[in-house]
């Protein structure tokens, strides 16, 4: 009897099959081949470098689809263990292992090990750069990658100062590299961090100006193709303008966002259609025994479909556009994890339209966009398995980040629905939307913990609208207790004061003064025109109650 093929040949064959399946975009088959090659029967026959490469490839597939994150993490930890002692391992491979492992930790919400592996990656990068093993250009790109990921981890950890320091290092590397795309990415991310912490008005304004200048300096063709960066910078600037109550300027940004979102929806749909058409063509071409005429016709169709796809993809690589699906890329490889969820961007644009339409009283458009946004959100939640009856306890850890994103957006739409319905005196509809918010909070109390304050505020506004002023003041003061934000606490106090003023008796007016007085004396330290305007207005009402019309005016 002839001896069977050696185990190494079987493993090599599986790796070759995985590569072929990956080339024709059959990722399910590619993953299965790699898993078999790395299984107990074959892994021992692989050389350490070959095993590490295979584990990196498999982990990359798992991460790109955010499925099997725990398995991806295990493969990456094993790959790094294999690569670390190998002097012959290419530096790029070691850096890639660090970067992908940090990305896996980020998706799993494991911030301490994420920061640790990123700092190890930066140490390795400094070592291989100093020894000349890595050319200057790639070294700067890897610096950008690690600093961007580190800043994200630090921001999640609440360390804004260190996050900004990491972004500064990344921005310096991007400038040295001469990459306008990366410079803009870092400038936008700096603005993002400043908007999240907002401790220094001048720093926020400077970061807004910097991002605007870099965007304006880009050639028109690059602006057209860097879709992810366009949405990122425009959304951040819109948030800033809404926060400072510059609704006129915000409306202009929202119009641009709305037009771009509609175009991107159409483009994305067309890419999906062409990709769906391309997949069976490539599978057919991979079959043996095709007649020459059939093969020629299929190859011609493949070339046509790829040409149309490349035209639609613009500056994005074809594989990027096909692989990332719901991801709007913000930066080129080797940047890992720098993308925006496409559907979440469309949802945010609907939300921005609602927020600029509400002050203008355009309630029909508000209603249309609230309906559109809620539809998109429910579609994404159902993909994550979040349907009726599912609670926080049922969620897999790997879905918590994405679920949290859409649940927070869901509550913001419901918040706006309550506000619109109260303005229209449609109290039943407002009450229904408020009940939905409370139901979602009950089902996902940890994820939506930050929304408790908002719900109490809305309960206060509802009670005030129907004339229950004592109940309204109670809810506003309860909302104050549920937030640590100084400006939000002041708004809660102001709203409670208004409810007390509406009661009309002397004791209630005195209670209102106790609430508004301290806020009025310290309001110059607050951020935002809205807070100051409300405080001044309510203080004026109190002065009228005290028969001081001149000061009130």
Q: Per-residue pLDDT tens for 390-424?
A: 999 988 877 888 899 999 999 999 999 999 999 99
Q: Are residues 443 and 468 in the same domain?
A: no
Residue 467 lies in a domain: yes
Mean pLDDT value across residues 220-246: 89
For the chain, helix (H) and strand (E) counts, in that order, are 25, 2
pLDDT, one tens digit per residue, over 524-553 is 666 567 777 888 888 787 778 776 777 766
Q: Which tops the pLDDT comparison, 229 or 279?
A: 229
Residue 396 lies in a domain: yes
Q: List beta partners, residue 327.
A: 341
Nearest Cα neighbor of 148 from 178, 118, 191 is 118
Q: Are residues 488 and 435 in the same domain?
A: no
Q: Are residues 528 and 490 in the same domain?
A: yes
Q: How many domains does the chain have?
A: 2
Which of 422, 447, 472 is where one domain is finished? 447
Residue 429 lies in a domain: yes
Residue 167 lies in a domain: no
- Tokens 């024709």: give the residue: 24
Q: Are 214 and 363 in contact (CB under 8 A)?
A: no
- Whether pTM > 0.95 for this model: the answer is no
**SS percent in the chain: helix, strand, coil, step 5:** 80, 0, 20
Distance separating alpha carbons of residues 43 and 39, to the nearest angstrom:
6
Q: Are 312 and 270 in contact (CB under 8 A)?
A: yes
Q: Are residues 476 and 421 in the same domain?
A: no
Residue 488 lies in a domain: yes
Would you state the pLDDT for residue 7? 52
Q: Are residues 495 and 525 in the same domain?
A: yes
The secondary structure element, H or E, covering residue 270 is helix 247-285
Residue 364 lies in a domain: yes
For 439-480, give the DSSP string: HHHHHSTTTTGGGHHHHHHHHHHHHHHTT-HHHHHHHHHHHH
State CA 41 to chain mean position distance.
Answer: 41
Structural tokens at position 461: 């506004």
Which of 398, 423, 447 is where one domain is finished? 447
Q: Specify the long-range contacts of residues 279-285, CB closer than 8 Å, at least 24 apart.
A: 279/25, 281/305, 282/24, 282/25, 283/24, 283/26, 285/24
Residue 17 lies in a domain: no
Q: Are residues 411 and 484 in the same domain?
A: no
pLDDT, one tens digit per residue, over 126-183 is 999 999 999 999 999 999 999 999 999 999 998 999 999 999 999 999 999 999 999 9
Which of 388, 418, 447 is where one domain is finished? 447
340 secondary structure, DSSP code: E
Domain of 426 in residue numbering reads as 358-447
Distance separating alpha carbons of residues 395 and 384, to the nearest angstrom:
9
Q: How confident is the model at residue 499 (pLDDT cuts 50, 70, 90)?
A: very high
Q: Are residues 473 and 535 in the same domain?
A: yes
For 478-490, give the DSSP string: HHHHT---HHHHH
End-to-end CA distance of the chain: 105
Q: Are 153 and 115 in contact (CB under 8 A)?
A: yes
Q: Are residues 443 and 511 in the same domain?
A: no
């Amino acid at each position: 009897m002839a001896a069977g093929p050696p185990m190494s040949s079987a493993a090599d064959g599986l790796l070759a099959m995985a590569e072929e399946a990956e080339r024709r975009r059959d990722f399910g088959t590619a993953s299965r081949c790699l898993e078999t090659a790395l299984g107990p029967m074959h892994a021992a026959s692989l050389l350490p470098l070959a095993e590490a490469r295979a584990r990196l490839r498999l982990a990359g597939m798992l991460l790109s689809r955010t499925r099997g994150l725990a398995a991806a993490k295990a493969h990456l930890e094993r790959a790094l263990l294999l690569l670390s002692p190998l002097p012959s391992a290419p530096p790029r491979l070691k850096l890639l292992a660090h970067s992908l492992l940090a990305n896996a930790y980020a998706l799993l919400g494991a911030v301490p090990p994420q920061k640790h592996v990123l700092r190890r990656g930066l140490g390795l990068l400094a070592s291989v750069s100093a020894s000349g093993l890595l050319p200057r250009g790639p070294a700067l790109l890897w610096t950008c990658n690690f600093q961007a990921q580190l800043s994200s981890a630090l921001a999640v950890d609440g360390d804004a100062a260190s996050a900004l320091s990491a972004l500064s290092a990344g921005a310096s590397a991007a400038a040295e590299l001469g990459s306008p795309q990366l410079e803009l990415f870092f400038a936008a991310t700096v603005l993002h961090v400043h908007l999240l912490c907002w401790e220094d008005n001048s720093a926020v304004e400077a970061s807004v100006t910097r991002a605007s200048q870099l965007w304006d300096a880009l050639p028109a063709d690059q602006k057209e193709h860097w879709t992810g960066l366009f949405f990122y910078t425009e959304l951040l600037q819109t948030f800033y303008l809404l926060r400072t109550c510059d609704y006129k300027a915000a409306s202009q940004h929202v119009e641009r966002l709305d037009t771009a979102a509609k175009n991107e929806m159409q483009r994305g749909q067309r890419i999906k259609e062409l990709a769906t058409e391309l997949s069976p063509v490539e599978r057919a071409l991979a079959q043996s025994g095709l007649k020459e005429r059939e093969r020629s016709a299929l190859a011609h169709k493949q070339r046509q479909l790829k040409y149309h796809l490349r035209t639609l993809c613009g500056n994005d690589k074809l594989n990027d556009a096909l692989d990332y699906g719901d991801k709007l890329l913000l930066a080129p490889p080797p940047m890992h994890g720098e993308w925006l969820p496409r559907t979440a961007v469309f949802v945010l644009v609907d939300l921005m339209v609602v927020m600029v339409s509400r002050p203008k009283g355009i309630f029909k458009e508000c209603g249309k966009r609230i309906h559109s946004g809620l539809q998109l959100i429910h579609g994404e939640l159902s993909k994550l398995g979040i349907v009726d009856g599912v609670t926080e306890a049922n969620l897999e850890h790997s879905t918590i980040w994405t679920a949290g994103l859409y649940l927070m957006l869901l509550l913001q739409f419901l918040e706006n629905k309550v506000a619109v319905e109260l303005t229209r005196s449609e109290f039943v509809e407002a009450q229904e939307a408020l009940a939905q918010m409370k139901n979602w909070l009950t089902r996902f109390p940890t994820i939506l913990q930050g929304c408790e304050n908002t719900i109490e505020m809305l309960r206060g506004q509802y009670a005030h609208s129907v004339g229950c002023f004592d109940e309204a003041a109670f809810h506003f003061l309860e909302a104050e207790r549920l937030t640590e934000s100084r400006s939000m606490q002041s708004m809660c106090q102001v709203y409670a004061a208004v409810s007390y003023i509406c009661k009309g008796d002397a004791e209630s007016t005195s209670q209102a003064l106790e609430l508004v007085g301290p806020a009025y004396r310290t309001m110059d330290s607050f951020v935002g025109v809205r807070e100051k305007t409300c405080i001044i207005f309510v203080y004026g009402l109190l002065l009228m109650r005290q028969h001081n019309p001149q000061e009130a005016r």
